[in-house]
Structure 1
Amino acid sequence: MDVHPSRLKMYADDSLNVTEELIDHIASQGTLLAVEAIVENRMNSDMHAYEVKVKWLGLETVEDSWEPLKTMSEDVPQLLLQYATTTSDDVFRCAVTTAIDSKQSQRSTRRRS
């Protein structure tokens, strides 16, 4: 069976012993994509965390993906803030602000060290 790599989905299984180091390595080896827009948000009840649906620049809508709020707050904080101002979900807006503020305070702590 031939499958285009863009159609592959991540698979999670606790028995695979996937470490944070391995995840970082794999992420750094992948193709870099630019975020065109954030189009939706949801609470992932399994992860107890917000996710945002990302429209990727140059890709079709079918390729949109749900990404963790934490990741997007690190990668595209201004775009995330811009999207958050358009939603009526106060809890989501608070989560965005908290995630971005947390990342900024971590950066300033590292600079002082």
Structure 2
Amino acid sequence: MVEVLRPQEENYDELALQLFSEVIKELGGPKKMIQYKQLTWLPSLMEACYVIALHEKGKKTADEIASLLGITKETVKRILSADPEAVRKKIEGEEKDISVHTAGGLAKLAWEKRKSQRL
């Protein structure tokens, strides 16, 4: 009997959770999130981490990501176009009036850190 090998499906849930966890650590951990009343960020942050995982690892397009996650293409584009350095400055308090998709930038920073650690 011949066994048919199929490509293994990537576990994007796990990757998104890893990115999410990295962002929470970078922001000071769960306690800091609670203290600074930033819990409202969490759904947007998870969404952004999943978008980045699908785009970077899965090489999915904005249309494909929007369809897979049930979100708008515009939301995906805002996440993908977020400037990680602008977000870093915003989080560190260097800049106050930056119009940037914060969760998208944070997810990108987590991806960059993960990628640099794997090299």
TM-score by shorter chain over 0.5: no
Q: Which has the higher helix share?
A: 2
Higher relative contact order structure (alpha carbons within 8 Å, sequence separation ≥ 6)? 2
